[in-house]
Amino acid sequence: MKKRGKTFSFIKTHRNLAEVLTDHKLASLGDTYINFVYSLALSNRRGKPSGAKVKGGVLAEAVKKAGLRGYMPSRMTRHMLADAAEALIVYAWLYNYITLEESVAMLEKTDDSVEGFSQLLATIKGRIKFF
C-alpha cells in the first residue's frame, strides 16, 4: 500500500466521513471511476473486455448495507446515497486507502453487485482515519 496523503492537487481536505460522503464534486469523479472498476471486474469474470454502468439503486443499497447511512443527513434520496458511494470510493483510491486492483478483486468475487459494493465500502470505511 502506498503512503497516504494527497496524490492529486485538486483534492480538498475533508475533516470527517460525512464531508466525503456529501462531496458532490468527488461524486462526479467517482461515477466514472466506479464504472471503470466495475467494468474491469466484469471483464475479468467474463474473460473478455466488457463495459458496464453501475445503477444508482445498487450503490444506494450498498451504502445502507455497509453501515454508512448514519453518517449522512436524514433526508437523502437514492440518487444522493449513490453519489455518496461514488464519492467515498474515489476518495479512498485518491488517498491510497485502497488500490484499483483490490477494488476490482472485491467486485469480481460475487455476482451480487450490491454485496460486492457493500464489501468494498465497508473495507474502505474500516481503513479511513480522519484527524
Rounded to whole angstroms, the Cα distance separating 4 from 58 reads: 29
Could you tell me how many residues make up the chain?
131
Every domain of the chain and the residues it spans? 17-127
Using CA atoms of 104, 129, 4, 63 in order, give the dihedral in degrees to the nearest 10.
Answer: 20
Model pLDDT for residues 53-104, shown as the tens digit of each residue: 999 999 999 999 999 999 988 888 999 999 999 999 999 999 999 999 999 9
Q: What is the pTM of this model?
A: 0.90
Query: With 0-12 CB in 10 A as exposed, 13-18 as middle and 19+ as buried, what is 110?
Result: middle
Model pLDDT for residues 21-65, shown as the tens digit of each residue: 999 999 999 999 999 999 999 999 999 999 999 999 999 999 999
Domain 17-127 fold: Ribonuclease iii, N-terminal Endonuclease Domain; Chain A (1.10.1520)
